[in-house]
């Protein structure tokens, strides 16, 4: 197991500088802060899991303790379909954890420590107040630089190739390379988001500024109670098609078709081009998702206009719920 919490003293030094705004000479000898609540997350996923080939069977990242009973917030892909998980605390102490919830719409995941952590939780901040050019900290549980000072370089919509749309993502630079589940902390030490991806265009389309995409913490607040109680949000699942796509000039090129998913059953193939939904032309990836989701909930029939090597055709997909496709806990 990789060494956890490397260079923690240096990271705490940086935390004091940013959060307190003090010159070097005025730094206290010791400071407790939210960094101690950033813990390692390790999850084991079975070989036959739907996501095993893409995300692997042994997943490692970070999480953030958000309540006194050991509830840990992380990015969902770390624990999706996991059969076991553990938290790694300072000093490489490990604590078994239960997977509590996974929310596909936001990307958040929750775990609960199976024994007391003795760690002060990080309070949740207000990510809607985070503006471009704001100074922030990105904190992970491992890596040569666990704590990275960063700047918010854009706030905008993010469309992921895996049928994912985040209306108000937070983009920071420079990038933290241990981004999965990392904590985005404001100057007051409150949690403003959770790390999801490393991207090349953090400052905006066609601007080559590498950075991280963060899921804003405000997206968690309306669903947190449901996630704790039921393992998922009460919001009805959206129709899932089982494709990955890449946008080019407003058209969607199919890059992957999930085995046994709705698209595969309807005959959609890699390199097909999706040009319309229900008779309406699409203008991009986000527009495609919105037009599909506007048809109704999971299970609705989705008519697509598709350009393949055989020409233009209309294909009808019987959508599904991604929760039913994944091998999740029965309570989900």
How does residue 60 score in pLDDT terms, banded at 50, 70 and 90? very high
Predicted confidence at residue 329, as pLDDT, reads 66
Topology agreement, domain 8-121 and domain 243-325: no
Phi/psi for 149 (5° steps) reads: -75, 135
323: preceding bond cis by omega (within 30 degrees): no
Residue 158 has pLDDT above 70, yes or no: yes
Of residues 202, 75, 63, the one with CA closest to residue 140 = 63
Predicted confidence at residue 141, as pLDDT, reads 95
315: Cβ contacts below 8 Å, ≥ 6 apart: 266, 267, 268, 303, 304, 306
The CATH architecture to which 243-325 belongs is: Roll (2.30)
Output the average pLDDT for the chain.
Answer: 89
Domain boundaries, the chain: 8-121, 127-220, 243-325
pLDDT tens column, 260-292: 999 999 999 999 999 999 999 999 999 999 999
139: Cβ contacts below 8 Å, ≥ 6 apart: 11, 15, 34, 35, 38, 62, 146, 147, 148, 182, 183, 185
Residue 15 has pLDDT above 50, yes or no: no
How does residue 230 score in pLDDT terms, banded at 50, 70 and 90? very high
Question: What is the separation, in whole angstroms, between the first and last Cα of the chain?
Answer: 30
Residue 3 has pLDDT above 50, yes or no: no
Predicted confidence at residue 258, as pLDDT, reads 95
**Which of 8-12, 228-232, 306-310 is the least confident region?**
8-12
pLDDT tens column, 165-200: 999 999 999 999 999 999 999 999 999 999 999 999
Q: Assign domain 8-121 to a CATH class.
A: mainly beta
pLDDT tens column, 293-332: 999 999 999 999 999 999 999 999 999 999 999 988 654 4
Q: Is 250 left (phi over 0), alpha (psi -120 to 50) or beta?
A: left
Residue 33 has pLDDT above 70, yes or no: no
Does domain 127-220 fall into CATH 2.40.10.10? yes
Residue 108 near residue 154, CB atoms below 8 Å:
no
Q: pTM (2 decimals)?
A: 0.89
Run of H or E including 266 = helix 262-266
Phi/psi for 235 (5° steps) reads: -65, 130
């Amino acid at each position: 197991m990789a060494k956890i919490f490397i260079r923690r003293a240096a990271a705490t030094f940086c935390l004091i500088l940013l959060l307190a705004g003090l010159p070097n000479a005025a730094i206290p000898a010791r400071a407790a802060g939210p960094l101690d609540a950033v813990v390692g997350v390790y999850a084991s996923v079975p070989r036959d899991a739907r996501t095993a080939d893409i995300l692997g069977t042994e997943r490692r990242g970070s999480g953030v303790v958000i309540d006194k009973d050991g509830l840990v917030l992380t990015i969902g892909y770390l624990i999706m379909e996991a059969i076991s998980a553990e938290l790694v605390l300072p000093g490489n102490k490990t604590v078994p954890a239960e997977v509590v919830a996974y929310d596909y719409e936001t990307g958040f995941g929750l775990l609960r420590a199976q024994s007391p952590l003795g760690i002060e939780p990080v309070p949740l901040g207000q990510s809607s107040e985070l503006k471009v050019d704001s100074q922030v900290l990105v904190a992970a549980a491992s890596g040569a630089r666990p704590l990275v000072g960063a700047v918010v370089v854009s706030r905008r919509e993010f469309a992921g190739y895996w049928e994912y749309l985040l209306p108000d993502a937070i983009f920071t630079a420079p990038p933290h390379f241990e981004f999965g589940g990392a904590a985005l902390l404001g100057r007051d030490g409150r949690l403003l988001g959770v790390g999801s991806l490393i991207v090349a265009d953090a400052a905006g389309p066609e601007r080559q500024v590498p950075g991280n995409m963060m899921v804003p913490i405000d997206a968690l607040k309306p669903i947190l109670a449901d996630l704790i109680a039921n393992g998922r949000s009460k919001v009805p699942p959206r129709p899932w098609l089982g494709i990955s796509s890449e946008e080019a000039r407003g058209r969607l090129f199919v890059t992957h078709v999930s085995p046994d998913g709705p698209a595969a059953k309807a005959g959609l193939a890699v390199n097909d081009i999706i040009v319309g939904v229900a008779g309406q032309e699409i203008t991009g990836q986000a527009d495609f998702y919105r037009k599909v989701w506007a048809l109704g909930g999971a299970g609705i029939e989705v008519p697509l206009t598709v350009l393949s090597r055989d020409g233009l055709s209309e294909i009808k997909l019987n959508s599904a719920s991604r929760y039913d496709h994944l091998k999740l806990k029965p309570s989900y």
